[in-house]
Amino acid sequence: MSRRLLILEDGTIFEGQAFGADFDVTGEIVFNTGMTGYQESITDQSYNGQILTFTYPLVGNYGINRDDYESIIPTCKGVVVAEAARRPSNWRSQMTLDEFLKAKKIPGIAGIDTRALTKIIRQHGTMRATIANAGDTVEHLTDQLRATVLPTNNIEEVSTKTAYPAPGIGKNIVLVDFGLKHSILRELSKRECNITVVPYDTRAEEILTLNPDGVMLSNGPGNPDDVPEVLDMIRGVQGKIPIFGICMGHQLFAKANGAGTFKMKFGHRGFNHAVREIATGRVDFTSQNHGFAVSRENFPEDLMITHEEINDKTVEGVRHRRFPAFSVQFHPDAAPGPHDASYLFDEFLEMIDAFKLEHSGR
């Protein structure tokens, strides 16, 4: 097996074995603490442009299957593991992780100390990194890495270019695609919703002409500051139609109502984040994948904080005080991860019913 290098912008170099696609890549390096769910993570568009490190020591042991895709064309830059399983064992497995990464043109590196790498990221924060073949000149690669400016059009890259339907017989939901996970579509389809997925830059007037019962703001990659045009759309819809935001959708909903956001040191990426609902004290274990968060500083009067992360008190949920609209930072679609918070989809549909009833006599 050929040798491959992982070079960090602080000068740290790891040497390991090559697997997956065979070319050099540069991106922001992050880590995920999940013990399973590598296929969902790799295909999650929220990892667009990032090199994804798995802290669990063995990855690929149950292969790749047809059911666990969160998107068909993943856009993460690379995959880093301590050990890549060569022979998966699972009745659903259709190919190995190595075969999958080759097919999707994603390079990987195995055989490095992912514990040491994770400690560096925790101490210094997420940073740029390069995966390169061992024969390349390290000094040249390091200079190139430090000169690299990472793209900021992540949402534009992964959002659908044209609207499309996911037909159902129930409530009419417009789902704004900032890099959506298929599991959000699955949860809405389970509830028989008639879904129309629209591009991230769809204007409020266009959404309202679709006559939706509710609007969902999906997850997605990057910095919410990079899509300021979305804020006008949210302000144009809220109050007229119930809104539910998830992850990036949560951050954009909060920003549209006057809240700030900030870049976290190394983010939340894993499937066991404990979140408390402030009003009830209920604690859910949640799936999360975000590098930015909503700030508590100068929090707007129109919003109330409904959920917080138990460990670092990150704002994990907000609700509008006057309009039927709420959002959460975590993933209630739970793919991969615990299903504790899937009830939020039901709350959204109940909110739609209550809003219709309130306005039926007007």
- CATH number of the structural domain spanning residue 260: 3.40.50.880
- Percent pLDDT > 70 in the chain is 99
Q: Using the 3D structure, point to which of 131, 150, 169 is the last residue of a domain.
A: 150
331 in active site: yes
Helix orientation angle between 229-237 and 248-256, rounded to the nearest 10 degrees: 80
pLDDT tens per residue across span 18-77: 999 999 999 999 999 999 999 999 999 999 999 999 999 999 999 999 999 999 999 999
Do 44 and 124 lie in one domain? The reply is yes
Instruction: Using pLDDT thresholds of 50, 70 and 90, give the confidence band for residue 122.
Output: very high
Do 27 and 170 lie in one domain? The reply is no
Q: Any known ligand binding at 248?
A: yes
Instruction: Using pLDDT thresholds of 50, 70 and 90, give the confidence band for residue 138.
Output: confident
Distance (Å, whole) CA 254 – CA 302: 10
Instruction: Using pLDDT thresholds of 50, 70 and 90, give the confidence band for residue 361.
Output: low
Do 170 and 269 lie in one domain? The reply is yes
Separation of CA 198 from chain center: 18
Query: Among 37-51, 166-180, 325-339, which stretch is predicted with the lowest mean pLDDT?
Result: 325-339
Instruction: Judge whether residue 362 has pLDDT over 70.
Output: no
What residues make up the domain containing 344? 155-359
The per-residue pLDDT for 12 is 95
The H helix count followed by the E strand count for the chain is 10, 19
First to last CA, the chain: 70
Do 103 and 196 lie in one domain? The reply is no
Instruction: Using pLDDT thresholds of 50, 70 and 90, give the confidence band for residue 176.
Output: very high
The count of domains in the chain is 2
The per-residue pLDDT for 254 is 98
Geometric angle at alpha carbon 7, from 179 and 12, rounded to 5°: 125
pTM beyond cutoff 0.85: yes
247 in active site: yes
The per-residue pLDDT for 334 is 78
The answer for residues whose C-beta is within 8 angstroms of residue 45's C-beta and 6 or more apart is 70, 71, 74, 75, 158, 179, 180, 181, 219, 220, 221
Q: Using the 3D structure, point to which of 150, 183, 213 is the last residue of a domain.
A: 150
Instruction: Judge whether residue 357 has pLDDT over 80.
Output: yes
Q: Which of 68, 98, 177, 247 is catalytic?
A: 247
pLDDT tens per residue across span 295-317: 999 999 999 999 999 999 999 99
Closest CA to 228 of 250, 255, 267, 254: 255
Q: What is the mean pLDDT of the chain?
A: 95
Q: Where are the beta strands (DSSP E) in the chain?
A: 3-8, 13-20, 25-32, 50-54, 58-59, 78-80, 83-84, 107-110, 127-133, 164-166, 172-177, 194-199, 214-217, 243-246, 261-277, 283-294, 303-309, 315-320, 325-328
Q: Which of 68, 98, 333, 340 is catalytic?
A: 333
Q: Any known ligand binding at 291?
A: yes
Distance (Å, whole) CA 159 – CA 177: 5
CATH of the domain at 51: 3.50.30.20
Instruction: Judge whether residue 244 has pLDDT over 70.
Output: yes
pLDDT tens per residue across span 189-209: 999 999 999 999 999 999 999
Do 305 and 172 lie in one domain? The reply is yes
Q: Which of 250, 273, 290, 331 is catalytic?
A: 331
Q: Any known ligand binding at 154?
A: no
Distance (Å, whole) CA 19 – CA 102: 8
Q: Any known ligand binding at 1?
A: no
Do 161 and 136 lie in one domain? The reply is no
Cβ atoms of 107 and 20 closer than 8 Å: yes
Do 120 and 175 lie in one domain? The reply is no
Q: Using the 3D structure, point to which of 101, 129, 150 is the last residue of a domain.
A: 150
Do 207 and 138 lie in one domain? The reply is no
Instruction: Judge whether residue 226 has pLDDT over 80.
Output: yes
- Beta bridge partners, 51, equal 29, 78
Do 167 and 280 lie in one domain? The reply is yes
Do 201 and 121 lie in one domain? The reply is no
Q: Any known ligand binding at 220?
A: yes
Residue carrying structure tokens 């990032």: 50
The answer for residues whose C-beta is within 8 angstroms of residue 118's C-beta and 6 or more apart is 31, 53, 55
Q: Any known ligand binding at 292?
A: yes
The per-residue pLDDT for 136 is 66
Do 66 and 93 lie in one domain? The reply is yes
Tokens at 255, concatenated: 């920003």
Do 355 and 231 lie in one domain? The reply is yes
| Strand duo 214-217 + 243-246: pairing | parallel
Cβ atoms of 126 and 1 closer than 8 Å: no
